[in-house]
Chain A
Amino acid sequence: MSAPAATPFVCIDAIEFGYDDRPLLSGVTLHAGRGEVVALMGGSGSGKTTLLRLLGGQLRPRAGRVVFDGADVPALGRDALYRLRRRMGMLFQFGALFTDLSVFENVAFPLREHARLPERMIRDLVLMKLDAVGLRGAAGLMPSQVSGGMARRVALARAIALDPPLLMYDEPFAGLDPISLGTIAQLIRRLNDSLGATSIVVTHDVPETFAIADRVYLLGAGRIVASGTPAQLRGSADPYVRQFLDGARDGPVQFHQPAPPIAADLGIGR
């Protein structure tokens, strides 16, 4: 696939990160090569979104390297970071569309801000991007007038407006109906392949993700507990992986929050 001795396109090496007193990530390593769809899965609050923010330069790790296309992200100054971000497209969990702009203007935003193009060309590009996600007919609507699934597709069109080589998806499947789920999953794969981009999908939706991902990383308790192709993970015997994939109530991740015995709480001691 990629040149064997070169650093992977996206390289997160042994990073440490935490908020004030709470450590969140410890020794996390993640690689993604060009053209791959990499899934980052884990329970809620396991730090998946934090990893995306570290990759995008919105947060700085305490230790370790974050490298994107050869650039050391945490070390970049503001202007260099902004230049790097033009090569990243990010889809936020609920779309994060600009509510005061129409669908068309939302997708046109990155083009207007970064590319000096004549208005006709911007119009054509925007309509093509919207067509790629199937929403060319919604171009005139406002974000408040489209459904959640549609809003996410518009946000996807906006994320690919500048044809970035790296796409990041923050929980793209959360709260969608089955039709929208399948649509977004197929779009992620198709766009990745046709753009020749690399996609990192943060999610905890197993069936949809396994259908489109080349590699899966499973995050638990602040570290990578398992990684491999979807088939390898399905066959894994690791208890955390098994609990996650099977949706078992108890396992390495406990159902009950630690608490004194219920008899003591209810006052029926013996």
Chain B
Amino acid sequence: MLIDALERVGAAVRGRVERVGYGARFFVRLLWLAPAALARPRLVVDQLHFIGNRSLSIITVSGLFVGFVLGLQGYYTLQRYGSAEALGLLVALSLVRELGPVVGALLFAGRAGTSLTAEVGLMKAGEQLSAMEMMAVDPVARVLAPRFVAAVIALPLLAAVFSAVGVIGGWVVGVQLIGVDPGAFWSQMQAGVDVFDDIGNGVIKSVVFGFICAFVALYVGYEARPTPEGVSRATTTGVVAASLAVLGFDFILTALMFGTD
């Protein structure tokens, strides 16, 4: 009885470790094939359009509203301590250090990640990947690598757009609607936001998140069972896993980057 239970636990753990190993090898394979994908810019540019341009509307609108809320909430809290002039600094730092990369990555995982997963899963279901293999073309190199490269390029750009639009949103609410002094708003921001420590770290974060979202979306799509339920389950798993990974890595990166002050 006990032996049975132990056997099952052992088998489950072994299965998990095998999957982790397989995933790691898949990630390395994508990295390995990425430079070759860049050598065929047409493929990458097409994907950049599907992944990046098509995400702009949700990123900008979300950024705007997050900026609005930051302006509002920031003002309420700061004003209690008489520091309402620091609103610009607060909005900018929150966006550039955290919200731009993280919320941008979460939105990206939801919008672009799921469409990548669904597309790859459906190509698998329609035997397109198999057909490509039989035509002696490696589907990972031809289909997945360009999408990977495009996603890694797109996410930092989208995060930057998110932050920029968010600052504008904060300005609209803080300066235009509430009446915070615009001079203080911008000058405090200029003084307090450092291009390397704040913006640079934010960019590094979004690059890391780009790798995560792209890899997770493509992996679950490639491994999906070629049925409607399989693709549906893959998209769900993909979004959940990518989101959790982004949040987990955000904590680690934040601790590393901003911890020692």
A residues in contact (CB < 8 Å) with B: 56, 58, 82-83, 85-86, 88, 90, 92-94, 96-99, 109-110, 113-114, 155, 158
Contact = CB atoms under 8 A, between A and B. Distances in A.
Secondary structure class of chain B's binding surface, majority of residues:
helix
Interface residues of B, number: 14
Contacts of A110: 135, 137
A94 B127 contact: yes
A86 B127 CA distance: 18
Contacts of A86: 135-136
A18 B225 CA distance: 19
A113 B127 CA distance: 19
Nearest to B131: A96
B128 interface: yes
A85 B126 contact: no
Given A82-B136, A92-B127, 4 more contacts: A85-B133, A90-B134, A92-B131, A96-B131
Given A93-B127, A98-B128, A82 B134 contact: no
A94 B130 CA distance: 12
**Closest 10 pairs between A and B when the two form their complex, measured CB to CB:** A96-B131, A85-B136, A96-B127, A82-B136, A90-B134, A86-B136, A92-B127, A113-B137, A110-B135, A96-B128
B138 interface: yes
A34 B130 CA distance: 26
A88 B138 contact: no
A126 B128 CA distance: 20
Interface string B135-150: 1111000100000000
Interface in B78-131: 123, 126-128, 130-131
9 contacts: A82-B138, A83-B136, A92-B127, A98-B132, A99-B123, A99-B126, A109-B135, A109-B137, A110-B135
B126 A96 contact: yes
Nearest to A162: B135
A88 B123 CA distance: 21
Contact of A58 (B126, B130, B135, B142): B130
B128 A58 contact: no
B25 to A, nearest CB: 14
A90 B131 CA distance: 7
B138 to A, nearest CB: 7
Contact of A113 (B131, B134, B135): B135
A62 B136 CA distance: 24
A99 B136 contact: no
B200 to A, nearest CB: 37
B234 to A, nearest CB: 18
A87 to B, nearest CB: 9
A96 B122 CA distance: 11
A81 to B, nearest CB: 8
B134 A56 contact: yes
Contacts of B130: 58, 92, 96
